[in-house]
Structure 1
């Protein structure tokens, strides 16, 4: 056996280990496919002004990233992206949504749209807090 510590791993180094874990998990996990999708919003100059990246894991919609350019915040773009992602999730059998956000990010935004904090990771990575949030999905909530 050989033991190697790599303090500057390449993306490929990381992916090799991730794939091995995924192969192992596949024997026990009840689903085999975890499709991703992205919704992007562009301005009239084709500049990206907002987007959301999601993964569907069984009955869960995992919101990996949601970003809106600063000058477009507060205009409903984040809500539009979030609700469209939730609709796609529900159309694909999702009954719950999951995300994480930091204390300096969008916790009030997600609370406003029905997400609940299920766990708080304090002092992360040193002085901030990370919130793990969930929401039960249903079409009636997304009519607002």
Structure 2
């Protein structure tokens, strides 16, 4: 809708009258929109008989359990994290990784973090760690390894080892994040680094404290590229007049950067009544209020249409994960 400023519209303040400007018109539109949203929320609460409350820890556990029941399974295995480490001759951790197998009962290993001390890079240590991750994945019956990296990190390193990019995302700070995958049953030539001097060290299983060393190494390296941001949790539920949970959302807003929908659930008898959309829009509202330009989420071919109907666009597709299904990474500019 465009405003014709030649028409004699006026903006009434508490003390004067003048021609309405384009800025006045935009402000008025915003007031009308917010009023409409408030009315819609109140109308929805009255018609559907629900109210929004904070999630409890028990609620979050229940939602996770119900989502696990919905997501297609490949294996009768529970999620299992493992840590690998490399120590130098003095017992100092100079590299390692954190990985998780069987998330959602899938035959996949998610490589969460891989780090090598700057003093020991380009000696084949990262390759040693990655090969051990893949060996463990095969030993556990997993057929896929996925991971995330950034433009200031190690995308070429992973590609040399047979990983391919299935998602890219350009961030507001100019850096690009990537999601990569390797199907372990594919015929991929083994990459041998030119400098293999790091093979004098050994890769071994690590502990929780070793995982902290890996995380600290990653964080220290990333500080130069990624500014710290305030993290605001959005953990809400819809309850009926008797206080029973009928829907819930778990989301995180990284103030000024992006928001992420981790989980969204509606009890089966109450689906297709707009409850999921209500919670989704509440999360989007919080993200927008905190200067977040984009909201992200993941979905499978069993629920991706819900997000598409709510304005989310595909930014990547992970094929045949879980077996016989596809998964998607989505975004919405807000």
Fold match by TM threshold 0.5: yes
Matches of 2:154 and 2:93, distance apart in 1: 19
Structure 1 unmatched ranges of 5 or more: 5-12
Q: Quick one: structure 1 residues 143 and 78, their matched pair in 2 at CA, closer, same or farther if it must change by over 3 Å?
A: closer
Q: 2:69 aligns to what?
A: 27
Offset at 1:126? 3.1
Q: 1:67 aligns to what?
A: 115
Do residues 134 (structure 1) and 170 (structure 2) align?
A: no
SS where residue 86 of structure 1 aligns? Answer: helix
Q: 1:51 aligns to what?
A: 96
SS where residue 75 of structure 1 aligns? Answer: coil
How many pairs does the alignment contain? 135
Offset at 1:26? 2.4
SS where residue 114 of structure 1 aligns? Answer: coil
Aligned counterparts, 1:44-123, within 5 A: 44-57=89-102, 58-123=106-171
Choose 1 or 2 for highest CA Rg.
2
Alignment check: 8 A CA contact 2:100 2:110 kept: yes
Matches of 1:129 and 1:60, distance apart in 2: 24
Offset at 1:20? 3.6
Matches of 1:143 and 1:107, distance apart in 2: 14
Structure 2 unmatched ranges of 5 or more: 1-50, 193-334
Q: 1:10 aligns to what?
A: none
Q: Quick one: structure 1 residues 141 and 20, their matched pair in 2 at CA, closer, same or farther if it must change by over 3 Å?
A: farther
Q: 1:42 aligns to what?
A: 87
Offset at 1:75? 0.3
SS where residue 27 of structure 1 aligns? Answer: helix
Question: With structure 1 as the length reference, what TM-score do the two structures score?
Answer: 0.81
Question: With structure 2 as the length reference, what TM-score do the two structures score?
Answer: 0.37
